[in-house]
Amino acid sequence: MPKITVFSQDGNEHSLSVQVGDPLMEPLRDEGLVEGTCGGAASCGTCHIYLRDDWSQKCGERTEDEGYMLEGLEEHVEVKPVSRLACQIILTDEMDGISMDIAPQI
Ligand code: FES
């Protein structure tokens, strides 16, 4: 089981064991770190994260819908090159050790 590290908005560090094949949003939501309101349809923006280090490469490219949603978020919060919607990242073994910050919520 891969392990990930998540820094929440209050500055606390969370170490989570995650299931390969699940969207990253699900363990974050189960831990109470994001809301995941739309259930993973890339249409609410509540699972916005900032990947740390060079993990962007391991997590693939943004999907088209994800790109549109992040553009929409730019009016409200900072969207960075490392911004992703966690619901659009499917966990793999290669993602063991990834770290991220939860982005400010809108
Ligand atoms: Fe709604 Fe990711 S859960 S955009």
Share of the chain above pLDDT 90, in %: 92
Q: Answer whether 40 contacts ligand 1 (Cβ < 6 A).
A: yes
Q: Which of 33-37, 50-54, 55-59 has the lowest mean pLDDT?
A: 55-59
What is the mean predicted confidence (pLDDT) over 27-45? 97
What is the mean predicted confidence (pLDDT) over 32-39? 97
Q: Answer whether 25 contacts ligand 1 (Cβ < 6 A).
A: yes
Q: Answer whether 63 contacts ligand 1 (Cβ < 6 A).
A: no
Per-residue confidence (pLDDT) for residue 65, from 0 to 100? 95
Per-residue confidence (pLDDT) for residue 56, from 0 to 100? 81
Contact (Cβ atoms closer than 8 angstroms) between residue 16 and residue 27: yes
The enclosing H or E element of 57 equals helix 55-58
Mean of the per-residue pLDDT values of the chain: 95
Contact (Cβ atoms closer than 8 angstroms) between residue 45 and residue 72: yes
Closest ligand 1 atom to residue 38 Cα is 1
Cα of 51 vs centre of ligand 1, distance in Å, is 16
Contact (Cβ atoms closer than 8 angstroms) between residue 18 and residue 2: yes
The enclosing H or E element of 56 equals helix 55-58
Q: Answer whether 23 contacts ligand 1 (Cβ < 6 A).
A: no
- DSSP assignment of 62-98: PPHHHHHHHHHHTTTS---TTEEEGGG-B--GGGTT-
Cα of 28 vs centre of ligand 1, distance in Å, is 11
Confidence of residue 53 (pLDDT cuts 50, 70, 90): confident
Please say if the pLDDT value at position 54 is more than 80: no
Q: Answer whether 77 contacts ligand 1 (Cβ < 6 A).
A: no
CB atoms within 10 A of CB 81: 7
* 3-state class percentages of the chain: helix first, strand second, coil last, to nearest 5: 25, 20, 55
